[in-house]
Amino acid sequence: MPAVVIVGTQWGDEGKGKIVDLLAPQADLIVRFQGGHNAGHTVVVGQEQYVLHLVPSGILHPGKIGVIGNGIVIDPAALLDEIDGLTARGIDLQGRLFISHRAHLIMPYHKAIDKESEKLKGARKIGTTGRGIGPAYADKMARVGLRVADLLDPDLFRQKLTGSLAEMNYLLGRLYSVKGFDLDVVCREYLGYAERLNAYIADTGDVLNDAIAAGRRVLFEGAQGTLLDVDHGTYPFVTSSSATAGGAATGSGVGPTRIDRVMGVAKAYSTRVGEGPFPTELSEEQGGGDLRARGQEFGATTGRPRRCGWFDAVVVRYAVRINGLSGLAITKLDVLDECSDIKICTSYECRGNRLATIPAVAEHYDECRPVYETMPGWKQSTVGITRYDDLPPNAKRYLERLSDIVGCPLDIVSTGSKRDQTIVMRRAFDA
Ligand code: GDP
Ligand code: IMO
Ligand code: MG
């Protein structure tokens, strides 16, 4: 089994960082293939907590190689901050971090447009992380983006930036009435980043394919989640990249025939940050506040409180299909320890019809009511349990019911944020 993909099955923050860190010892290379520093992946090692944004989560294991693939959008200042932060904590990335020369750059005007566009949208805003992600991907698709490779040719970089700034400054001034950016200033800033990033820049498609040909194992680390995927998510309340399993191929340059397994990460309940449909959302009074407090549901990137609700099996069943999941990692089971009753949404009721899948139009969710099945809670601690047989019977029943409704076997159950607070039921990579 040389290549395994990890993806989020809900709206992000499922605990992908913990699962990637857990599986990294079985792999040689760990690859981020989409998104940018909108991601916040938390890894807890002993008493230490790390929040990774662009650097793959497996990097905390000595000797593992991290790859930032072509599908990523990179804010060089944010990446350098992250590299410096890790170095200061004793994680040296020299010689084991590779950045794709085809990855796109997030420019200062992307961040400005992200913020201004959200302001202009008013009530229709997406609730983005404000990191410039959407505008950077828009430029990529419009074929006017600047890429990491461009940083290595200062004259060409300046020439391309001159063209981009002419357009972007016009847009910022005329549409959003804000000041544009100065060519010399931006050029100097970015060429400065280039000097520092140079040592990490590579043809990462080659790095990965050579590694696979040599029998090495690759772990793909998805960011965001299936319902935030630009094609398959709750459009337009999504991010701007392919957060589903297919994105691992296009975002890394590794062909689909080289990928063997796809593991989906799902929280034992649901959360969402930002705006957009969330059928099983619980108001504060209904218990959303309790779930947030017990699950510490505050954004790892922006610190925003996460919206919380019951497990939505319609959503995860959809994710099983869209990603072709071979197994599931259920995280944060322990957060439900104190619940007397636990609900699972099995379908939506919409204008008198039962829907077994999600609507394509975000507005149509307004007419969808979740249909619940209620299961008894277990009212005892599962924190840190490492053997499936040691779980309370009702917790096992809950997990088995989830697996059954969504139609996917369980690979992992997580019972705490630490590495060893985990039940491994099936190995991701063959021994
Ligand atoms: P990611 O973006 O998918 O990597 O997830 P985040 O790191 O944004 O959010 C997941 C949060 O849940 C982090 O604070 C993790 O440390 C924490 N976490 C992960 N697994 C578990 C678990 O099984 N139980 C508990 N209580 N916390 C967990
Ligand atoms: P990880 O990888 C949760 C959400 C934002 C917003 C929408 C679009 O940690 O799971 P963007 O800045 O990407 O244009 O925002 O997507 N979002 C996330 N929500 N986890 C994430 O990443 C997210 N990355 C983006 O809140 O609703
Ligand atoms: Mg996160």
The answer to whether 331 and 44 are in contact (CB under 8 A) is: no
Give yes or no: residues 217 and 330 share one domain. no
C-alpha 277 to ligand 2 mean position (Å): 14
Q: How many domains does the chain have?
A: 3
Both 17 and 120 in one domain: the answer is: no
Q: Is residue 423 within 8 Å of 387, Cβ to Cβ?
A: yes
CB distance 38 to ligand 1 below 6 Å:
no
Residue 115, domain member (yes or no): yes
Q: Where in the sequence is the domain holding 359, given as residue range(s)?
A: 266-424
Question: Is the domain of 303 the same as that of 406?
Answer: yes
Which amino acids bring their CB within 6 angstroms of ligand 2? 8, 11-13, 38-41, 126-129, 131, 133-134, 223-225, 228, 239-240, 273-274, 300
The CA 236 to ligand 1 mean position distance, Å, reads 26
Q: Cα–Cα distance between 264 and 326 in angstroms, integer?
A: 8
Selection from 259, 354, 352, 255 nearest residue 314 by Cα: 354
Q: Are residues 273 and 331 in the same domain?
A: yes
Q: Among 258, 277, 295, identify where a domain stops.
A: 258
Alpha-carbon span 32 to 6, nearest angstrom = 10
> Do residues 186 and 288 share a domain?
no
> Pick from 216, 237, 258: which residue ends a domain?
258
Evaluate: CB of 370 within 6 angstroms of ligand 1.
no
Q: Which listed ligand is nearest to 106 at the C-alpha? A: 2
- Nearest-CA neighbor of 281 among 270, 291, 290, 292? 270
Contact 67, 251 (CB under 8 A): no
Question: Distance between CA 56 and CA 3 in Å, rounded?
Answer: 15
Q: For residue 302, how far is its CA from the centre of ligand 3 (angstroms)?
A: 10
Examine residue 236 and say whether the peptide bond preceding it is cis (omega within 30 degrees of 0): yes
CA pair distance 166, 397, nearest whole angstrom: 61
Residue 295's SS3 state is helix
Enter the tokens of residue 24: 């990294």
Provide the CATH number for the domain around residue 408. 3.90.170.10
Query: Which token pair is 274?
Result: 């930002």
In whole angstroms, how far apart are CA 210 and each of 203, 251, 254, 289, 383? 11, 17, 10, 49, 41
Distance 240 CA to ligand 2 centre (A): 9
* Tens place of pLDDT per residue across the chain (431 aa): 589 999 999 999 999 999 999 999 999 999 999 999 999 999 999 999 999 999 999 999 999 999 999 999 999 999 999 999 999 999 999 999 999 999 999 999 999 999 999 999 999 999 999 999 999 999 999 999 999 999 999 999 999 999 999 999 999 999 999 999 999 999 999 999 999 999 999 999 999 999 999 999 999 999 999 999 999 999 999 999 999 999 999 999 999 999 999 999 999 999 999 999 999 999 999 999 999 999 999 988 888 999 999 999 999 999 999 999 999 999 999 999 999 999 999 999 998 999 989 999 999 999 999 999 999 999 999 999 999 999 999 999 999 999 999 999 999 999 999 999 999 999 999 87
* 290/400 same-domain check: yes
Answering whether pTM is above 0.95, one says yes
Does 429 fall in a domain? no
- Ligand 1 pocket mutation, candidates 11, 13, 18, 291, criterion most atoms within 8 A of CB: 18
